[in-house]
Amino acid sequence: MDIEKTELSPGLTSFRTDRGVVQVEQSLENRYQIYKKLLGNESMHGSELPALSAQQKEIARKFNIPEEEYARNVLAGSYGLEKTRKKANDLGQAVQGAIRPLDAGYRVTAVIRDVNRLGWVVRIETPRGDVNVLLSKELAEGLLDSGSESEKEQLRIRLLTSLEQSKPAP
């Protein structure tokens, strides 16, 4: 499967595949927590850190940040992005599983982390057009952490309610 990566803005990345689009917005708090772990990991040698581009080296120099510290930040960002991408993919699969019984015309086309509303927006293609469904952070985390039958039922109810009440997405 080919994956096309597009940086939409700082912290927001779109991944396009033959199955649709996953947009990932990485929270600064998540990035900072990963960064703190990397800074505290004295066993990580400079050779394990990513090589900086000329532009990244220039930014580090302008802000008077040691290159090794800047490289740790770059690595933290990539770890956070990978973690968020996995969550988006897993959440998309859970939603797809929940809408599978509805009709062959329903499919997940995007999963977007919405840091402003502290949740996830799942775009679902329906026979009437695309519909955006907001899932709370708590519901998403519950599904991703344990995936209990209770949480799957909450997801099913949320999706059915949203699909019945929503107008197609713009």
Q: Does residue 96 sit within a domain?
A: yes
Q: Does residue 170 sit within a domain?
A: no
For residues 116, 25, 14 and 60, what is the CA-based torsion angle, rounded to 10 degrees?
Answer: 130
Which structure tokens are listed for 145? Answer: 């952490």
Tell me which residue range forms the domain holding 14.
Answer: 4-165
Q: Does residue 154 sit within a domain?
A: yes
Q: What is the pLDDT of residue 7?
A: 55
Q: What is the pLDDT of residue 51?
A: 87
pLDDT digits (tens, 9 = 90+) for 67-111: 888 888 888 888 888 888 888 989 999 999 898 887 778 889 989
Q: What is the pLDDT of residue 81?
A: 82
3-state secondary structure 40-95: HCCCCCHHHCCCCCHHHHHHHHHCCCCHHHHHHHHHHHHHHHHHHHHHHHHHHHHH
Q: What is the pLDDT of residue 94?
A: 92
pLDDT digits (tens, 9 = 90+) for 13-72: 555 555 554 444 444 445 555 555 555 554 555 567 888 889 888 888 888 888 888 888
Specify the pTM.
0.65
Residue type, 115: V
Count of structural domains within the chain: 1
Q: Does residue 27 sit within a domain?
A: yes
Q: What is the pLDDT of residue 135?
A: 92
Q: What is the pLDDT of residue 28?
A: 45
Residue with tokens 């940040």: 65
Confirm if 81 and 103 have CB atoms less than 8 A apart.
Answer: no
Q: Does residue 119 sit within a domain?
A: yes
Q: How deeply is 24 buried, as exposed, middle or buried, from its count of CB atoms within 10 A (0-12, 13-18, 19+)?
A: buried
Could you tell me the end-to-end alpha-carbon distance of the chain, in angstroms, rounded to an integer?
Answer: 28
